[in-house]
Structure 1
Amino acid sequence: MDWNRVEGNWKQIKGKIKEQWGKLTDDDLDVIDGKRDQLEGKIQERYGYEKDRATQDVDDWYKRQTW
């Protein structure tokens, strides 16, 4: 799997990210700008998850996407 697809289409994908993680703000998404490590960090911050949980959640979300 290639995260570059997410980075390249970030403007279109932000809505899907917001559906999954509603606590992320538009400002958060602008700062994240498609970077996976920043997405995981913001999920940790907003939801109080440990790093492993945030990483697993992002992996699970990515696998469910139909490109």
Structure 2
Amino acid sequence: MNWDIIQGKWDQLKGSVKEKWGDLTDDELTQISGQQDKLAGKLQEKYGWTKEKVDDEINGFFKDKS
């Protein structure tokens, strides 16, 4: 997965990200702006997941998006 591409497409992907992880607010998605570390941190904060769980979730979701 290429995060440079994901960052470039972030505005297009925000809707899909919000559908997948509905606890993220629009403001948070704007702040994340396609940065993997920020997304991971917010998911850990919102869902209480481990880093490994977050990495699995992110990798699975963005596998075909880049």
TM-score in terms of structure 2 length: 0.91
Quote the offset at 1:33 in angstroms: 0.7
Aligned-partner SS, 1:55 = helix
Whole-angstrom distance in 1 between the partners of 2:55 and 2:23 = 17
Residue correspondences, number: 66
Whole-angstrom distance in 1 between the partners of 2:25 and 2:39 = 12
Greater RCO between the two (CA within 8 Å, min separation 6)? Answer: 2
Quote the offset at 1:64 in angstroms: 4.3
Q: What are the ranges of 5 or more consecutive residues in structure 1 without an aligned counterpart?
A: none
Percent identical among aligned pairs is 42
Aligned-partner SS, 1:54 = helix
Quote the offset at 1:63 in angstroms: 1.5
Q: Which residue is equivalent to 1:57?
A: 57
Q: Which residue is equivalent to 2:7?
A: 7
Aligned-partner SS, 2:63 = helix
Runs of 4+ off more than 4 Å: none
Whole-angstrom distance in 2 between the partners of 1:64 and 1:36 = 15
Instruction: Determine whether 1:20 maps to 2:27.
Output: no
Aligned-partner SS, 1:23 = coil
Q: What are the ranges of 5 or more consecutive residues in structure 2 without an aligned counterpart?
A: none
Quote the offset at 1:19 in angstroms: 0.8
What is the aligned-residue RMSD (CA, Å)?
A: 1.2
